[in-house]
Structure 1
Amino acid sequence: MAATLPATQSAAAAVDPQRLTVDLAASEGPVMLGANGALYGLSDDGVPSDAALEPLKITSISQKPEGGAQHPNGDALTVSRSFFRNGGGEINVMMQDIYAKWPYEDLGIDDYLPKVDKITKEVSADPNSDRFVYIPFNEPDQIWYKLDVSDQAQYEKNRDRFFKDWKTVYQRIRAIDPDARIAGPNEAAYHNRLLKDFLAFAKRENVLPQVMTWHELGSGSLRDFQAHYDDYRALERAAGIAPLKINIDEYANRRDLSVPGQLVQWVSMFERNKVYANQAYWDAAGNMDGNVVRSNIPNGGWWFFRWYAGLTGNTVKVTPPQANTIDTLQGLASLDTARRQAQVLLGGSAGDSDVVVRNVSRSVFGRTVTATVAEAAWSGYEGQHATPRVLARTKVKVAADGTVTVPLRGLHKMSAYRIVLTPGGTGTPTAPSVPWSASYEAEAAAITGGQVYTQGTVSNANGYAASGTKDVGSLNQASSKVDFTVTVPENGTYDLAILYGNQSGAPATQKLSLDGGTPVTVTYPSTENWTYRAKKDVTVELSAGTHVLSLAKGAAEVTLDRVDLTRNTGAPTARYEATLADISGRPSYDYTSSAGLGTGALVLRRGDKAVFDVYAPRDGYYTVVPRASAAVTLALHGEKVAAAPERPLRLYLVAGNNRVAVTGGHAAVRSLDVSGDGSTAGTLSYEAASATLAGGAKLVESAHASGGSYIGSLGNSPDSTAEFTVDAPRSGRYVLVVHYAHNDRRDNGHSYNTDIMSRTADITVGASAPRTVTFKNTWSADDYWTVGVPVDLEKGANRVTFGNPGAWAPDIDRIELGRVLGRS
C-alpha cells in the first residue's frame, strides 16, 4: 500500500480522486525552463523591476527593434540591459514591428529592406549581439502573404511570394551579420502545408532558419500542440533536416495569462517537449504578460513561474488523468539527485486528486520523505499575492514498492500547487497552521442594479479571466449593490479580499456595510479596464455565524468578481526555506532532521550564497530572523548586515518582492523568517509642499494626494526641478520611496494592446551623480504607486533633487526614506 498524506483542504468528495502519476525513474532530460518567456514582457529598463525579473530566470523574450513604431516602448536593445543584467537568455527581435500598424502596412519588400539593414546593423553592433535572434516576418499567414487561404492555386502564388522575400531578407541579414541567428517562418498557427513546403525550400536555397517558430494561441492548443510538435519533427526527418531549436514565440490567451492553473497546462507541455515558448502580448507591456503587478509586485502567476524557475535537475515523466485535453489536471515534475529533491507542479482542475510519485529511490531519499504542499492562487492580473501558503508538511514512509501518494483535496481550478519531496531524517515536522478561509462568487450573491457577465471561457478564450467564468458589472445605478451572505466559524477579525475592476479613470469607491449597519468607504485604484482584475484588501470584524456583507455603489463604477474571507491570525508571517533558495557556489544539503518547520538545512561555506525572494505587502519595516547555526551576512538593497543566529533584525522592505542574499563562513541555514505588516515608525516622510520647486514645476491641488497637493509640470527642461531637504538621523544606506502618478499612453489603434508609456526622473542625492529611475504608468493621474530606490545619505541635511531635462517626470505626491537596517 502506498504511503499517504492527510487531506490538505476539504474532506474528500464521494467521487474517486483524479490520479496524476510521477515517475522519478523516467528522466526527460535537464530542466530547460523554456516556457517562461514573454512577448513585450519588458517595456523599459526597470519595468518590470530587477527584483521581479531576476527570480524568473527568463530564457527568451520577444521585443520590437529599436525605434519600432508598433508600440511606444519595449525596444529590444533598450530592455536588453535589464534583461541581461538579471540573467536573461536571449531576445527575439520582431523586425516587422518597425511598422506602426497591425496588420503591418504592406508597402512592399523594397520599403522593408532598408529597415532590415538598419535593424541588423544596430543589433550586430551590440556587445551582446550573439544573444539576439532575428525574426524577419511575423504571422506571414495573416499579413502580407495570406498563406492560410484554402484555394491551392492562390496559396501557391502567395507562398512563392513569401519564399522569395524570405530568401531576400535572410541573405540581407546574413550579409551584414554573418553569425546571425534567424527564426521563422513564425505563422500565427501551426500549418503542416506551409511548413512542409518551407523546409524543402529553405534547405534547397540554404536559407534554413536556426530557430523554428510558430504560435499556439487558442484553447485548442492545449489539446493539439503535442500532435503539432510530433508532426513537425516528422517533417524535419522526412526532409533530412537535423532537429531545429523550437520557440513557440506566442502562446496562450487572455483567459490563461496570470492564472496559475491555466499556465501550468501550457508550461507542462512545452517543458515536456523541451521547446522554448513566450507568452502572448494581449494587454500592456512591461508586466511579463500579466504576471507582475505594477513594477515589482508578484501575483499568483508570478509565483507559479517562480516555482517553475526553482525546478532543478532533470524533468521526469508525468502522466495526467487526461493527456492533451483542454482545461484538465496537468503537471510537470523534476528530480535533482544532488540536492535530494523532487518537485511536482500541477493544476488546472477543481476537486480532488491523488499525486502518485513512483520510484522514490531509497539511496536518494532514505526510508521516509517530508512532503510539503503549497498553493499559488489566482489573484487577478493586477492583484497582489503574498508568499504562497504551505497547506501541508508531513513525514511519511516510502512504501516497499518505492511509491509515495500525496492526496490533495478541494483543489481550486485556477490555482497551481507545488509538492516538494525531501529526505525525512529524524524528528517530526510541525504541521503548518492554515487559517480558515472561504470564497464567495459575486454572480451567486444577491444583485441589485447590476448584471452578470460571462468571461474567459473556452469559446471566448480572448476574454479576460474571471473566477467561475462570471463577474458582475454595470453597477452604475444609485441603488446598485451586491449582497454576499457569508458564514464564519468564530468571532474575530477577518481579511476581506475583493477581486474587482475599475475603468473609471480615477480612484472609485463602494460602500461596505455589515448586516445593514453603518457603511464604510472602500477605495479601489484604477485598473486597465472593467475586467482586468485587481485585488483590494480590507479587514472586517465578524461574530460567529451568518452575515450579509454589502458592497454598494459609491463614487464611480466598480465591477465585482469574487470576495475571499480569511481568518486574520495576526501580523503576516512567512518562512522561506533555505533548501529551496537560489544558490551559487557549492553549498551542501543537510536533511538529518525534519523536526519543526522546514525541510532541512542548507550548509553555506565561504564563497557560497543563498538568495531568498521575500514578499512585503507594503513599503516599511519587517522583522527578519535567519534560522542558522552560526553567524551569517544578509545583503539587501546594497547593504550588508551581520546577523547572529536566531537574532531578529528590523529591515526595510519595498512593496512586492525583495531579493535577500545570505552568506556565511560555515553555517547551516534552515530558513529566513519574515513577519510584520510594514511599519513606518522611524521613517522620514516629506510631502510635496515641502519641496523647493524651480523652472516651471508647480504644486497642484488634488483631493487624491496624501497632503492635498502634488508636484506637477516637473521636467521637460534642465531648469525644472523639485528639491527636498532630507534630515537623516545617521549616515548609511536608505531606501527612498517615491509616491508618484502619471497616465501617459499612446493610441496606436490596436484592438488588444494598451500602449501605456513610462516616465523617467533623474534623482540626485547631494553631490552624487544623477540616477535615472523609470516610473510605470499608474492607469490614472490620480492613483499613486511607489518605487523604491536605494540611496546613501549623510547624517544631517541631504538634498534630494528630481528632474528630467528632456521629458516630463512623473507627478510626485510625497517621498519617504527608511534606513535599510532599522533600530529595533
Structure 2
Amino acid sequence: MLRSVQRALTRLCVLALAAGTAGVGAAAPAAAAGLTLTVDVGQTVRPATQVASGGLYGVDSDTRPSTDMLLPLNPTSFTQPAPGTAHLPNGATEPCCDALDVGHNITRAGAQQFIRMPDIYPDFPYQWQGWSDWEQKVTTMVQDRLAATETTNIRGWELWNEPGWTWDTEAAGSFHDGWTRTYDLVRSLDEVTPIVGPSWSYYEHDRMLDFMRHARDTGTLPDVIVWHELGDADWDSFGDHVADYRAIERQLGIDPRPIAINEYNSENEMDIPSVAVHWISVLERHGAREAHRAFWNEAGTFDGLFTLEGRPTASYWAYRWYGEMTGNIVETTPQSWIDGVASYDSSRQIVTTVFGGDWGDNTVRVEGLGALGPRVDVQVRYTPGSGRHTHVPEPSVVTDSTMQVDNGSISVPVEDMNAEGAYQLLVTPEGGPATSWQRVYEAENATVVNAETLSSGEASNGYYVGRIDGDADMRSDSFVDFTVNVPESRDYTMSIAYANGTGETATHGLAYNGGAWSAVSYEPTAGWGRFSTTDVTVSLEAGYNVIRLAKGSPNFDGGTGYAELDRITLS
C-alpha cells in the first residue's frame, strides 16, 4: 500500500526473474551454488513468537480471512485503519478493515493490532482538512474505541503514517509540533493505550535523531518505535538500522523502546516466498518485537498469503511453517543469499528451519543436535515462487531420510534449489518427535497482553511471563492466550506451571474458545520465579483452540492476588 518516496537501490548482483515465474515481478540472485546455511541449536536467540507474522490491512472483516484460516499462521499483530474509516486503499470503492469491526476476528486468532489514525481520511496521500477537523476526528476515534468494552487487543495508537511525505507542513505546521499536539490530545482522552510512531517510510539517522530529541524534550516519546522497511532486496540494512536507532536512544538517555516494523517487503518482491524468508530471518535476528507484511494489493488476503478466493498461495506455506515454530528461535548464520530462520522445541525434540534464497546445490548444516540421539529423521519440503494469484494446495516433499549425527551435527544437501521458492527442513530423533502432538505450550510463546516475558534458569524453556497485574478495563487487562492444537475433541487435563510469591492463594480466570469463565487457584510457591503446578480439566475441540488465563478480561470479575506463568501441559 503506502508507497515510499525512497527506494533502496537493488543490489548489483540482482537479475531478472527466471523463466517460468514471469508475472511475479521481482528479482532473483545470480546462481551461486555451494553455499551453506548454518543452524546452531545450542544458541538461543529469543522465544519463538512469530515476530514477522503480521500484516497491514491483513484482515478485511470478521470473517475474511476466517479465524480458522488465520490460526495455523499464528499471527502476532496487525495494523488496521481507524474506527469509522473512510479510507479507500489501492483503488477500492468501499472502505475496509475498520479496526473495531475486525477486532474480534484478530483476537480469536491470538493476535493484537495497532490502529492507524490518519487512515480515517479517504485518500492517500492524506488530504489535510485543518486542525479543527483532525482533532475532532481523533476525539471520535478514541471515544469509539473506549466504548468498545469487549475489545481487548488494541496494541497501540499510530498517530500518523509516513509523515516524511504525507504530512502537510504548509497547512498543518511542522510534523514535530503536530506529533506533540496529537499525542497530548490522545493522552487527554486515553491514558492507557500505547502510542506508536513516528512511522517513517524508511529509516534515516538525522530525521530519527531530531524526532526523538523533540519527543524527549516535550514528554511525548512513543511507547513503541515504528518505521517501515520497503526497499527491494534491502533486508540486510535492517540490522544497521536497529543498531543506529539503539545508539540514538543511548545518546539521548532514552530507555529502550520495542521496535515494530509495521510495513516490510517491497511491492516488487512481496509475493516471492524466499524474499519473505529473508525478511523473517533478519527481523528475528535483529530484535524487532513485531513486523507486518506491507499492503500493496487486495485487502483481506493477509497481504497475499491467500488468493482472492481464500485459498493458500505459495507464500502461505512459508508463513505456516514459520507459524508452527515453538520453543526458542535459535541462531542461523547465512552465506551470501542463503538465509533462514530456525527453532528448537526441546519438549518434542524438533528442529525446524525455513530457508531459501539461491539457485543450485546448497547445504544446511545443523549443529548442537546431541540431545536428539545418534541418528535423526530429516525431511525437506518446498513451496514454489508462484505469486499471490496461484493456489498452492500443499508443499512438495523434496527428501525424506535418516542421517547419522556426527559430533552433534548433520549436513543436509538440498539439490537444485529454486531461488524464488522457500524450503522447510524438519529434524527429529529417529522414529519421529518425542510426542505425536504438541503437549507443552510455553507462556512466552503465547499471546502476552499487558504482561512481560522474563528469563529464569528455573523456567522450563528459560523464560516465563510475569507482571500479569492489570484488571482495570479492556485496555489494561492482563492475560495470556495460548493457541493449542489437539488431535481430537474431548476433555484434557491441563497442568499449569506457575509461581506465586504473595504467600497467599491467588486466582486467574480461565476461559477457552470464548466460553464461560472459571477460576484457577494458585497456592503459594517458594517465591517469584519459583514454579509449582496445578491441574484443571478443559474440554477442547479437535484442531485449534485458544485458552486464556487472565488476571483481567471482559466479562470476568478479575483474579485475586498475583501469579506468574511458565507453561501449560495438555495430557
TM-score (norm 2): 0.69
* 1:106 equivalent among 92, 112, 128: 128
| 2:450 corresponds to | none
| 2:329 corresponds to | 315
**CA drift at 1:16:** 5.7
**CA drift at 1:268:** 0.7
- SS of residue matched to 1:17: coil
2:49 and 2:212 map into 1 onto residues whose CA distance is 26
| 2:37 corresponds to | 20
Tell me which structure has the larger Cα radius of gyration.
1
Map 1:109-258; keep pairs closer than 5 Å.
109-126=131-148, 127-129=150-152, 131-145=154-168, 161-258=174-271
Deviation string 1:61-82 (CA, Å, 9 cap, x unpaired) is: 1111122111211110001121
Partners of 2:378 and 2:425 within 8 A in 1: yes
| 2:106 corresponds to | 83
Partners of 2:55 and 2:78 within 8 A in 1: yes
**CA drift at 1:108:** 2.7
**CA drift at 1:218:** 1.2
**CA drift at 1:52:** 1.3
Deviation string 1:597-646 (CA, Å, 9 cap, x unpaired) is: xxxxx99995179xxxxxxxxxxxxxxxxxxxxxxxxxxxxxxxxxxxxx
**CA drift at 1:109:** 2.5
Is 1:345 aligned with 2:316? no
**CA drift at 1:142:** 0.6
What code does the residue aligned with 1:398 have?
V
**CA drift at 1:257:** 2.2
* 2:340 equivalent among 320, 323, 331: 331
| 1:61 corresponds to | 78
| 1:303 corresponds to | 317
**CA drift at 1:115:** 0.3
| 2:382 corresponds to | 375
Is 1:279 aligned with 2:288? no
Partners of 2:32 and 2:358 within 8 A in 1: no
Could you tell me which runs of 5 or more consecutive residues in structure 2 were left unpaired when the two chains were aligned: 1-30, 89-94, 443-485, 495-540, 546-571
2:76 and 2:176 map into 1 onto residues whose CA distance is 29
Deviation string 1:332-373 (CA, Å, 9 cap, x unpaired) is: 111111221111110121111111111212xx2011111111
Deviation string 1:726-755 (CA, Å, 9 cap, x unpaired) is: xxxxxxxxxxxxxxxxxxxxxxxxxxxxxx
| 1:294 corresponds to | 308
Map 1:297-696; keep pairs closer than 5 Å.
297-322=311-336, 328-361=337-370, 364-399=371-406, 401-425=407-431, 607=492, 661=543
2:375 and 2:33 map into 1 onto residues whose CA distance is 26
| 1:524 corresponds to | none
1:54 and 1:301 map into 2 onto residues whose CA distance is 16
| 1:42 corresponds to | 59
Structure 1 pair 160/194, CA: closer, same or farther in 2 (3 Å)? farther
Structure 1 pair 214/233, CA: closer, same or farther in 2 (3 Å)? same
Structure 1 pair 607/405, CA: closer, same or farther in 2 (3 Å)? same
Partners of 2:60 and 2:299 within 8 A in 1: yes
Deviation string 1:64-106 (CA, Å, 9 cap, x unpaired) is: 1122111211110001121112222x11111001111111112
**CA drift at 1:296:** 3.4
**CA drift at 1:662:** 9.4
| 1:789 corresponds to | none
**CA drift at 1:660:** 5.5
Structure 1 pair 158/342, CA: closer, same or farther in 2 (3 Å)? farther
Partners of 1:357 and 1:403 within 8 A in 2: yes
**CA drift at 1:403:** 1.3
Structure 1 pair 80/603, CA: closer, same or farther in 2 (3 Å)? closer
- SS of residue matched to 2:420: coil
- SS of residue matched to 1:110: helix
What code does the residue aligned with 1:381 have?
R
1:294 and 1:61 map into 2 onto residues whose CA distance is 19
TM-score (norm 1): 0.48
**CA drift at 1:580:** 8.0
**CA drift at 1:133:** 1.1
| 1:788 corresponds to | none
What code does the residue aligned with 2:212 have?
L
1:228 and 1:407 map into 2 onto residues whose CA distance is 34
Structure 1 pair 158/356, CA: closer, same or farther in 2 (3 Å)? farther
**CA drift at 1:583:** 5.6
**CA drift at 1:295:** 4.8
1:144 and 1:287 map into 2 onto residues whose CA distance is 29
Could you tell me which runs of 5 or more consecutive residues in structure 1 were left unpaired when the two chains were aligned: 1-13, 147-156, 323-327, 430-576, 587-601, 610-658, 664-824
Deviation string 1:161-191 (CA, Å, 9 cap, x unpaired) is: 2111111111111111110211000011101
| 2:504 corresponds to | none
1:69 and 1:194 map into 2 onto residues whose CA distance is 30
- SS of residue matched to 1:35: coil
Q: Give the structure with the higher percent helix.
A: 2
What code does the residue aligned with 1:132 have?
R
Structure 1 pair 205/580, CA: closer, same or farther in 2 (3 Å)? farther
Partners of 1:40 and 1:285 within 8 A in 2: yes
* 1:74 equivalent among 81, 94, 97: 97
What code does the residue aligned with 1:58 have?
P
Q: Give the structure with the higher percent strand.
A: 1
**CA drift at 1:26:** 1.4
What code does the residue aligned with 1:380 have?
G
- SS of residue matched to 1:312: coil
**CA drift at 1:274:** 2.9
Partners of 1:123 and 1:132 within 8 A in 2: no
2:493 and 2:311 map into 1 onto residues whose CA distance is 28
What code does the residue aligned with 1:313 have?
G
Partners of 1:50 and 1:86 within 8 A in 2: yes
Higher RCO, Cα 8 Å, sep 6+: 2
Is 1:30 aligned with 2:47? yes
Partners of 1:310 and 1:582 within 8 A in 2: no
What code does the residue aligned with 2:244 have?
D
- SS of residue matched to 2:100: helix
Partners of 1:310 and 1:580 within 8 A in 2: no
- SS of residue matched to 2:284: helix
1:56 and 1:120 map into 2 onto residues whose CA distance is 30
1:378 and 1:295 map into 2 onto residues whose CA distance is 19
2:278 and 2:158 map into 1 onto residues whose CA distance is 27
Partners of 2:328 and 2:344 within 8 A in 1: yes
Partners of 1:109 and 1:165 within 8 A in 2: no
2:357 and 2:405 map into 1 onto residues whose CA distance is 27
1:158 and 1:608 map into 2 onto residues whose CA distance is 62
